[in-house]
Amino acid sequence: MNRPISAELIEEHNAAHADILAEDYDALARKLARSGVDIDAIKDRVAGFTVAVPSWGAGRGGTRFAKFPIPGEPTNIHEKLEDCSVINQLSRLTPRVSPHFPWDKVSDYQALRDEAAALGLGWDAVNSNTFQDQVGLAHSYANGSLAAQDAGARAQAVEHNIECIEIGRQLGSSDLTVWVGDGTNFPGQQDFTRSLDRYLEAASQIYAALPDDWRMLLEHKMFEPAFYSTVISDWGSSFLAAQELGPKAKCLVDLGHHAPNVNIEQIVARLHRFGKLGGFHFNDSKYGDDDLDSGSINPHQLFLVFNELAEAEANPRGEFRPSYMIDQSHNVTDPIESMLSSAETIAQCFVKASLVDRVSLHDAQERNDTMMAFQALRRAYNIDVAPILARARVEAGGVYDMLAVYRQSRYRDRKAQERKPVGLGAGIV
Ligand code: PSV
Ligand code: MN
Ligand code: MN
């Protein structure tokens, strides 16, 4: 296997921190044992937890005002894969990459699949892009894609999604994520009902092309690029569309795609209740679709989302198979560092949710003992689970302190020598 970070560096680092880790892990084991929790069982649960990374997240993002390239930034899917393999090598949490087309287009997808496998990576959901015009397209998406009035634009968008499914088959994916920016900027610009009709008709053609074991994940977003109305603006629209399309259509929740203060954890419970919870794009936000690092603003919300997921897993209604992915934009950090940090934060919330004493929680709920129900969540949230994650990571071949080893490896500096500079204004997203 082709591993970008030196095995000796990792071994030395882990050996130097073995005693500290053992001390912290044993102390936490004793604390958890007092509540009847076996730390090794929790650690084994973490070993099965993974979250995908987006190929576009490996590049420096930007805002609509500017993009500031960094030396050593990846310039194509091959370099993005290499960066993603660093994240997985150090964290052992991110073994799959989610590609985006046409950004990640190549001529030979079997070769790309092999290239990823050699780096220890597989493929997650395939993402289509009908929110930008590309050179050579016959129809513009300026007035929408799947919901456009222009039948040519709709047909082109359908065809692109079907091509993404075909690429995904070659890569070994089994989900297609569809996010469209279709919507309006002025009252009266489009008829709300007729634009949804057009979306549903076009989406059903994509749905019809899905292989039996595939899912179509519908990603809603409240606003941007449309600022007055968006066709699939919220979980209600997403749910209704998924219901109309059929059982293989599910809803994808991007944490940043809601109005401020919306109760996202309740949305998770609702979607699960009706068998439509398809997956997540993890990120954080303060104002809108900010794409900030997961848990950087509201880690408690992320914990509450995972608490609902733990409840859902314990009470599956049909299938429980949510896909987890990071979807962030890194404007002021090295994307590898941000995704390492986010993957750990996401896994931390997963572990904390696993530590909730559900018997006490449910008992308090039954007795209407609000304070004790809240304390059942609070006790788990307050536990520092870092030693569990570090032990699971090291046992899987990852590293104790991911950021320290990443910096010591001087990976980015080495890439800055090897890779051609990304021009100003060039954007991955
Ligand atoms: C646009 O809001 C967006 O950030 C969505 O979250 C998609 O998942 C992503 O771009 C990639 O298309
Ligand atoms: Mn997203
Ligand atoms: Mn977004």
Mean pLDDT for the stretch of residues 247-261: 98
Q: Residues lining ligand 3 (ion), CB within 5 A?
A: 289
Instruction: Please state the atom number of ligand 1 nearest to the C-alpha of residue 252.
Output: 8
- Read off the pLDDT of residues 120-172 as tens digits, 9 standing for 90 and up: 999 999 999 999 999 999 999 999 999 999 999 999 999 999 999 999 999 99
- Of 179, 294, 330, best ligand 1 pocket probe by most atoms within 8 Å of the beta carbon: 179
Q: Which long-range contacts (CB under 8 A, 24 or more apart) does 151-157 make?
A: 154/198, 154/201, 154/202, 156/130, 157/128, 157/130, 157/202
pLDDT at 13 over 80: yes
Distance (Å, rounded) from C-alpha 17 to C-alpha 201?
A: 58
- Read off the pLDDT of residues 395-422 as tens digits, 9 standing for 90 and up: 999 999 999 999 999 999 999 999 998 8
First CA to last CA distance, the chain: 30
What spacing in Å lies between the alpha carbon of 110 and ligand 1's midpoint?
26
Q: What is the pTM of this model?
A: 0.97
Query: Is residue 221 lining ligand 1, measured as CB closer than 6 Å?
Result: yes
| Residue 366: count of CB within 10 angstroms of its CB | 9
What spacing in Å lies between the alpha carbon of 151 and ligand 1's midpoint?
24
Nearest to 282 by CA among 83, 82, 5, 93: 93
Query: Is residue 282 lining ligand 1, measured as CB closer than 6 Å?
Result: no
Beta bridge partners of 54: 98
- Of 161, 252, 254, 255, best ligand 1 pocket probe by most atoms within 8 Å of the beta carbon: 254
pLDDT at 40 over 90: yes
- Note whether 90 and 5 are within 8 A (CB): yes
Q: What pLDDT, on a 0 to 100 scale, did the predictor assign at position 428? A: 45
- Read off the pLDDT of residues 329-370 as tens digits, 9 standing for 90 and up: 999 999 999 999 999 999 999 999 999 999 999 999 999 999
Q: What pLDDT, on a 0 to 100 scale, did the predictor assign at position 429? A: 44
pLDDT at 424 over 70: no
- Of 124, 178, 219, best ligand 1 pocket probe by most atoms within 8 Å of the beta carbon: 219
- Note whether 48 and 402 are within 8 A (CB): no
Distance (Å, rounded) from C-alpha 77 to C-alpha 109?
A: 11
| Residue 370: count of CB within 10 angstroms of its CB | 10
Query: Is residue 127 lining ligand 1, measured as CB closer than 6 Å?
Result: yes
| Residue 146: count of CB within 10 angstroms of its CB | 26
Mean pLDDT for the stretch of residues 254-283: 98
What spacing in Å lies between the alpha carbon of 211 and ligand 3's midpoint?
27
Q: What pLDDT, on a 0 to 100 scale, did the predictor assign at position 64? A: 80
Mean pLDDT for the stretch of residues 32-40: 98
Mean pLDDT for the stretch of residues 231-248: 98
Query: Is residue 334 lining ligand 1, measured as CB closer than 6 Å?
Result: no
Beta bridge partners of 252: 219, 279
Query: Is residue 219 lining ligand 1, measured as CB closer than 6 Å?
Result: yes
Closest listed ligand to the CA of 57: 1
- Read off the pLDDT of residues 52-99 as tens digits, 9 standing for 90 and up: 999 999 998 888 888 888 999 999 999 999 999 999 999 999 999 999
Closest listed ligand to the CA of 224: 1
ipTM above 0.85? yes
Nearest to 346 by CA among 385, 402, 314: 385
What spacing in Å lies between the alpha carbon of 401 and ligand 3's midpoint?
29
Closest listed ligand to the CA of 130: 1
Query: Is residue 179 lining ligand 1, measured as CB closer than 6 Å?
Result: yes
Closest listed ligand to the CA of 253: 2
- Read off the pLDDT of residues 62-71 as tens digits, 9 standing for 90 and up: 888 888 889 9
Distance (Å, rounded) from C-alpha 67 to C-alpha 77?
A: 19
Distance (Å, rounded) from C-alpha 299 to C-alpha 344?
A: 12
What rounded mean pLDDT belongs to the chain? 96
Nearest to 13 by CA among 401, 415, 428: 401
Query: Is residue 104 lining ligand 1, measured as CB closer than 6 Å?
Result: no
Q: What pLDDT, on a 0 to 100 scale, did the predictor assign at position 3? A: 93
Instruction: Please state the atom number of ligand 1 nearest to the C-alpha of residue 129.
Output: 12
Instruction: Specify the residue with its C-alpha closest to ligand 1, atom 5.
Output: 179
Distance (Å, rounded) from C-alpha 142 to C-alpha 130?
A: 10
Instruction: Please state the atom number of ligand 1 nearest to the C-alpha of residue 224.
Output: 2
**Burial letters for 106-140: b for 16+ Cβ neighbours within 10 Å, e otherwise?**
eeebeebbebbeebbbbbbbbbbbbeeeeeeeebe
Q: What pLDDT, on a 0 to 100 scale, did the predictor assign at position 60? A: 86
Q: What pLDDT, on a 0 to 100 scale, did the predictor assign at position 425? A: 52
What spacing in Å lies between the alpha carbon of 281 and ligand 1's midpoint?
9
Beta bridge partners of 292: 284
Name residue 185's amino acid. Answer: N
Query: Is residue 83 lining ligand 1, measured as CB closer than 6 Å?
Result: no
Distance (Å, rounded) from C-alpha 157 to C-alpha 168?
A: 16
